[in-house]
Chain A
Amino acid sequence: MIKRIKHSLEYLIDKSSRHKTSRAEEDLLHNFTFSEYQKSKWDVSSMGNPNQVALDIYDNIQIRIGKKKNFNPYLKYMAAASILFLIGLGFYFKPVTTAEKQLSFKTSDTPKSIQLSDGSKIYLAANSSFQYPEKFMGEQRKVSLLKGNAFFEIAKDKKHPFIISSGEIKTRVVGTSFHIQMSKSKCEVIVVTGKVNVSVKGQSVDLVPNEEALFQSQKLTKLLADKSFLVNWYATDLTLDQTTLKQVITILQYKYGVSFQYENKLVLATPLTVFIKKDATLENVLEQINYITNLKFKVYGEIVKVD
């Protein structure tokens, strides 16, 4: 057997090109290359006369851009024709899309699920609110998450893309399952199965399973998702085995739409194993944690204080 030697850098770059790197690994690659970027300086003896090189590269760019332009002189007309065609389609289909009766669906202290007219299922976290048409009509299936968090299992229908608005963000899918988590400061979309496109204010990312889009302070970024999000925790019993309070709190925040407050950050590292039944109330789960850890929880509406 031939043992191929693989350099740690090669390992990381290969992994990164397949989008499989963890955040820490990606940071390491970034920091390393960025430090090289900052250190790099022009060296005339090895890199040549900068004025000449600047012109050479610029000329090459112009040639390549120019070539592309002349490549198909009819392209312009084709583009114009297809835009006209699309505008035509718009007029043609417009009357059909009117008059969808909107219904809303709200949860208070327990998560609930709902089935839409196309067979899609929405699992809504506690303290959340969702709006959908009684019956989908027109080219697109449009719904809105107005508040809180939800897990979506969208029925496949390639002809009618499903579009979810959550705040300014639009999530566009054909048939897939994913989470959307919305709070005042940010919105996250986490994909479990299928492909999802997320767009906001001209920014757009495509996601595959295991990836998440984060929209925070007006910026949309793509990240690797936390493993514990990759299940539909609204509809399944959940065992969080040998995890930390931090992890458990994260899930509870999303499932019950509450936020946690604590005096001392150290409590977050408390090790524990909990079992969350799918229809458990927040009180059930907190009692269980209290029993195991001796931590005390007080619930004030949507805020939970940890002592």
Chain B
Amino acid sequence: MKNPEIFEKTYNDYWKKLNAFSYTMTQDKDLAQNIVQDVFIDLWERKDHITINAIEPYLFRAVKNQVFKHYQNNKFDKTILEDKFEDYIIDNFSSIDPELMDLLYSLLDKLPEKRKEVLLMYKFQDMSIDQIAEELGISKQTVKNQISSALKQLREGLKDLAWLAPMIFFKQNF
């Protein structure tokens, strides 16, 4: 990053991917462009003082941090990112770190027994709707309904951390 040519090449190589990313996260065209602009200005200003081993992870992190900063300052519609986060958690349920699984299990425990069972079969044991229906001797429609209401309830839990918070604080003390 020592000279303007390298800076320009870095810009040309990465601006588009970064802008697409900032837009995906914020759904705000102007804000998304400003984020990319600020990240490159910051890079230029610090170019003599920092050593960057891998430029793409650095730029990704810089954009991510900017998005988070604007999120905290309510500069865009936060529900967009929050919905994506809920989707991510639900889609990646089985690959999330065990430490955080405690948190998710406590959400799961709030579900009625039957609903929880169906969701676990669906998400953890990778069973199809047909298989679950057969296993439990209920109709496919019931399975579908149970899954969708379980996911909905889980989503609500992720939205409101108020009743989860004591548990999280408890964990921090150890």
Contacts and interface: CB of A to CB of B under 8 A. Distances in A.
B109 interface: no
A116 B10 CA distance: 49
Given A36-B24, A40-B21, A61-B11, A13 B97 contact: no
Residue among A9, A10, A48 facing the most chain B CB atoms (10 A cut-off) = A9
B23 A40 contact: yes
Interface string B130-174: 000000000000000000000000000011111011001000000
A33 B20 contact: no
B161 A56 contact: no
A32 to B, nearest CB: 5
A44 to B, nearest CB: 11
Nearest to B159: A7
Interface in B61-78: 64, 67-69, 71-72, 78
Given A54-B16, A57-B36, A3 B162 contact: yes
Contact of B82 (A7, A30, A34, A48): A7
A35 B67 CA distance: 15
A50 interface: yes
Contacts of B71: 10, 13
A28 B37 contact: no
A159 interface: no
Contacts, number: 126
B84 interface: yes
B23 A5 contact: no
B72 A13 contact: yes
Contacts of B24: 36-37, 39-40
Contacts of B100: 24-25, 28
B20 A42 contact: yes
Interface residues of A, number: 49
A57 B12 CA distance: 11
A41 B44 contact: no
Interface centre among B11, B53, B68, B165 (most CB of A within 10 A): B68
A47 B29 contact: yes
Contacts of B72: 10, 13-14, 17
Interface string A246-285: 0000000000000000000000000000000000000000
A42 B99 CA distance: 36
- Find the residue from A3, A14, A30, A40 having the highest chain B CB count within 10 A: A40
Given A8-B161, A28-B100, A68 B85 contact: no
Interface residues of B, number: 50
Nearest to A30: B64
- Name which of A25, A28, A33, A34 has the most chain B CB atoms within 10 A of its CB: A33
Contacts of A101: none
A40 B97 CA distance: 24
Nearest to B32: A47
B33 A56 contact: yes
Contact of B85 (A8, A47, A54, A65): A8
B43 to A, nearest CB: 9
A27 interface: yes
Contact of B44 (A10, A25, A65): A65
Interface string B28-67: 0100110011001100110000010100000010001001
Given A35-B88, A47-B19, A48-B29, A5 B159 contact: yes
Contacts of B78: 7, 10
Interface of A: 3-11, 13-14, 16-17, 22, 24-25, 27-28, 30-37, 39-43, 46-48, 50, 53-54, 56-58, 60-61, 64-65, 68, 201-203, 219
Q: Which 5 A-B pairs have the closest CB atoms?
A: A24-B97, A202-B51, A40-B24, A24-B99, A40-B20
Given A7-B158, A10-B72, A46-B23, 11 more contacts: A5-B162, A9-B82, A9-B85, A13-B71, A16-B68, A33-B67, A37-B17, A47-B29, A48-B29, A57-B36, A61-B37
